[in-house]
Structure 1
Amino acid sequence: MSVESQIAISLHAIAAMMWVGGIFFAYRVLRPCAMNMEPNERVQLWQAVFRRFFGWVWLFISLIVVSGYWLIMQDFGGLEQTPLYLKVMSGIGWLMIVIFAWLFFGPFAKFKIRIAQYELAEAGQIMNTQMRPLIALNLMLGTLEFIIGATGGYWPI
């Protein structure tokens, strides 16, 4: 493996780890702790968390897509020669990106509007009923990505 490929795979893995790890932290660590806060404070906390984290997610997505397709072209000569597990990972990755974009431009945009209008109860409703299920889905898909990445090279196909 070339030095360039080593750098690309490192950036790819770090970006994926940060994205999925950030989701895990927010969903499984911060969320339960935030439940002890007053509802209005909790919604404002989540606004700050989402604003900061989602900016990073766009960077992670860029790094994942660019490094992933660079590796496919550099190391496999294109999609035709790419192993099945990497094609599966690519498909799941695109699904995660679509889900995140839907979250960002849909429910999160509505959430920000409600916060700006100081309609915090409505913002909380959007967060709990529209955003949280999408975040949970991406956490599950991201976990599946790591499982496939760790085991795919051993698939008998």
Structure 2
Amino acid sequence: MATTLYVLHLLGAVVWVGGMAFAILMLRPAAHEALEPPQRIALMEGVFRRFFRMLWHVVPVVILTGWAMWIGWYWGFAASIWHVHAMHLAGLGMAGVFLFVALGPWARMRAAVAAGDRAAAAAALDTIRKAVTFNLMLGLLTVAVAGWGRFGG
């Protein structure tokens, strides 16, 4: 059972952090080079609609499998080593950023796109970009902490 939890946790983290890396480091710059603002907003609306829909499933899996491993593998809060606490804090922070984006600027962007308000959609998209960039940095740091703690002490 522990292996299944670990694999689900890793796959969820890869999808979440990898999706953010792709969106910020590859898709966004390519869209800015190739598309005019109206097409860029439409593309990013479609991308984030799919990505955030997936994250509503992935984020709980990552958190719940992390907690299950924390209790079953690392013997709970008091007995855990430093990197498990750091991953937990960072994971909850990342989930908080996701909730902020999904319930705030993403909702505003969808409403602006539906209303044909390109300026409001672009402003919301910029807020999403900043939050996802922050979350990507936090996610990469979390992955580094996980690797360091697991194999580096």
TM-score in same-fold range (> 0.5): yes
Which shows bigger deviation, 73-82 or 135-144? 73-82
Q: Which residue of 2 aligns with 1:94?
A: 92
Q: Which residue of 2 aligns with 1:142?
A: 139
Matched, 1:131 2:149: no
Structure 2 CA distance for aligned equivalents of residues 69 and 122 of structure 1: 38
User: Helix, strand or coil for the counterpart of 1:77?
Assistant: coil
Shift of the alpha carbon at 1:155? 5.1
The answer (yes or no) to whether the contact 1:40–1:121 under 8 Å persists in 2 is: no
Q: Which residue of 1 aligns with 2:149?
A: 152
CA deviation map 1:42-79 (0-9, x unaligned): 10111110110001112111111111111111112211
Matched, 1:26 2:33: no
Unpaired runs of 5+ residues, structure 2, are none
Structure 1 CA distance for aligned equivalents of residues 74 and 109 of structure 2: 43
Q: Which residue of 2 aligns with 1:17?
A: 14
Structure 1 CA distance for aligned equivalents of residues 59 and 13 of structure 2: 8
Structure 1 CA distance for aligned equivalents of residues 14 and 87 of structure 2: 14
Q: Which residue of 2 aligns with 1:65?
A: 63
Q: State the percentage of identical aligned residues.
A: 29
What TM-score results when the alignment is normalised by the length of structure 1? 0.93
* Equivalent residues, number: 152
Amino acid at match of 1:124: A
CA deviation map 1:25-55 (0-9, x unaligned): 0111111111120110110111110110001
Structure 1 CA distance for aligned equivalents of residues 103 and 14 of structure 2: 23
What TM-score results when the alignment is normalised by the length of structure 2? 0.95
Q: Which residue of 1 aligns with 2:108?
A: 110
